[in-house]
Structure 1
Amino acid sequence: MPKKEIAYKGRVLFLHGFAQSSSVFYAKSSALRKRFQSLGYKTIYLNAPINLIPSDLPSSDSLSKFNTVVVNEEEKTNYRGWWTKKPDHTYKLDDAIACVEKYIKDNEIVSGSPEDDKSNQILDSDRDLPIVGLVGFSQGAAFAGALVHTFEQLFGVDTLEFALLYSGFKIDTKLMPEYAELYSQRNGIDTNVRMLHIVGELDTVVGDDRAYTLYDSTRENSHLLKHPGGHFVPNSRIMIDQVVNWIENKNEESEKKEEEKPKAEKSEVDDLLAMIEKFGA
């Protein structure tokens, strides 16, 4: 019996983490991807522009913390990054932005491994589907978070509705002031795209000092969801359900009264304290 063709209603772009690739993120986000498909969203996994060289990479032990598959030394790697830091810890986003623009304008994705090619089925008809969402992990979430406020200005696309940011962080605009204009200057109140920040309470890669920087800068247009894990995209049913409910209830959520916010934030703090006690910290 032939497979039933899916009638897609929009595209969601997935931006992988540092030292990952589109195929790695495709595998790591399988539960979320399948749920998106069932809801009528076509998932597109972009490859970052930079093919990392050994000197760009952390040790094998550290790579596992980035939720990256570690291969044998003899194997050709396809570890990629949206940017790499200079000795002064600054970096440029030009190539990363051009990479997204290439897909939006030309329907083309940066070539990687054969596995990457299998992760996407890019069709000419995709151009007719509006880009409605971004999903980023780690460095990919930081990049997605930097695109949200000026997405229409950068790419001429006004259909973006939401962004899911897993283990993200805000680019250091004190160190790189040229990127301050990418972010809302009013804590997200002037941003039309809603954001859900998913944070692992045991994430030691991003760390507490950076984990909430992106959320704090967009809190007027953002929600925060925590999970009792580390640096990864949680695939449990309960987490996927919460994410999907947030997307589907976007209209209802946007009408929440301001006075309800302190109660929600207190609940999140209580949950964190309970988790700390549970682990005997």
Structure 2
Amino acid sequence: MTTKNQQITKFKGVILFLHGYTQNSSIFYAKTSALRKKILKLGYKCKYLNGPYVLQPSDLPTTDSLSKFGSSDNQDVTYRGWWIKNDHTNDSIDLDKSIDSIRNYIENGILIPDDESQNKEISKESEEDKELPIVGLIGFSQGASFAGLIAENFQNLFNTKNPLKFVILYSGFKLDTSKSSKNDKYNSYYDEELNPDLKYLHVYGELDTVVDEVRSLSLYNITKPKSDLLKHPGGHFVPNSKLYIDQVVNWIQSVTKDDNEKVTNQPGKGDVNEKKSKLDTKDDIESLLDMMEGFGKA
């Protein structure tokens, strides 16, 4: 007879969580607690990785704006990113260090701590964990942009046994890879033929003032054939109401099951307006109040 604890430890795979700009793994861990609990029940292990760049005061937005980035104004926080902005733009960036940090985790099980002073305590994955396949990526803001860039080419970049099954992008955006941006060396990363079976879920807030709708749809528009879209009536944050978490979790179930198995209550394909989530009148008042409380917050 299998006990409850034994069931929890028998994971089917790993999902990597990539935090946003001016966040770190601990902040993102706290802000996605409800989502993580539901994912664990599906049998997937959640691993939160840190961007390798420690942000300096000159890299940060104003204190008043930090909350808009889903961050914290706690002075003891080590703010991190997946790339450093040049003159507060995303032009001429270098992602090699971030790609290497993902590779170092996958190949050696090394996790970068939140605070550089904790380097002596860098943890390593168990051999059992290292054998689990990485099935998906979940990113927020800059972390979502980075996830969207490495997703198609994930198996080749990191020499994994299997390609990714899905990527979920909260307030994500496509990196500008035009020649004028000087990021054109990353243009080939968005080649959909690299992983034709990869599925995307793009989630964004209608009141997001950090990554607006046009930017949020930039990656969706080039991945439409294998993408779903979910809007929420909030700002620049990961919605934590039961309504939206259930839809995301149901979507994960749908893309990790056999093609002939159907899952209900998942975001559907079609026109953007058709994909907008509609509140079911049977949803409890607590979920609605939770979402309303989050309006404009990060």
Question: TM (normalized to structure 2)?
Answer: 0.80
Does the residue aligned with 2:221 lie in a helix, a strand or coil? helix
- Indicate yes or no: 2:246 matched with 1:245: no
Match of 1:19 among 17, 22, 28: 22
Alignment of 1:120-269 (within 5 A): 122-157=125-160, 158-174=162-178, 175=181, 176-184=183-191, 191-250=196-255, 251-252=258-259, 261-262=269-270, 264-268=271-275
Tell me which stretches of 4 or more aligned residues in structure 1 moved more than 3 Å: 113-118, 251-255, 268-271
What's the CA shift for 1:64?
0.5
Q: SS at the partner of 2:20?
A: coil
Amino acid across the alignment from 1:184: D
1:212 match: secondary structure: helix
Number of matched pairs = 261
Q: C-alpha distance in 2, partners of 1:185/1:105? A: 25
| Distance in 2, Cα, partners of 1:121 & 1:238 | 35
After superposition, the C-alpha distances for 1:160-217 in whole angstroms (9 at most, x for unaligned) are: 111111000000011211111000267x9x6321110011111110112311001111
Question: Which residue identity is paired with 1:223?
Answer: D
- After superposition, the C-alpha distances for 1:46-80 in whole angstroms (9 at most, x for unaligned) are 010001110000111110000111114xx3x3100
RMSD, aligned CA = 2.9
Q: How far 1:124 sits from its partner (Å)?
A: 2.5
Amino acid at match of 2:106: I
Q: Partners of 2:212 and 2:202 in 1: how far apart? A: 14
Which 5+ residue runs of structure 1 have no aligned equivalent? 272-278
Displacement, 1:93? Answer: 0.6
1:184 to 1:59, Cα distance in 2 relative to 1, 3 A: same
1:85 aligns with 85
CA distance in 2, matches of 1:28, 1:62: 18
8 Å Cα contact 2:229-2:276 kept in structure 1: no
In 1: Cα distance, 2:131 partner to 2:200 partner: 24
Distance 2:134 2:244 in 1: 23
Q: Deviations over 1:221-251 (max 9, x none)?
A: 1110111111001111111110111111224
1:59-117 Cα distance to aligned partner (Å, 9 max, x none): 11110000111114xx3x31000001224732111011011001000000112239999
Question: Counterpart of 1:238 in 2: which secondary structure?
Answer: helix
Q: Distance in 2 between matches of 1:237 and 1:151?
A: 31
Provide the C-alpha distance between the structure 2 equivalents of 1:121 and 1:44, rounded to a whole number of angstroms: 12
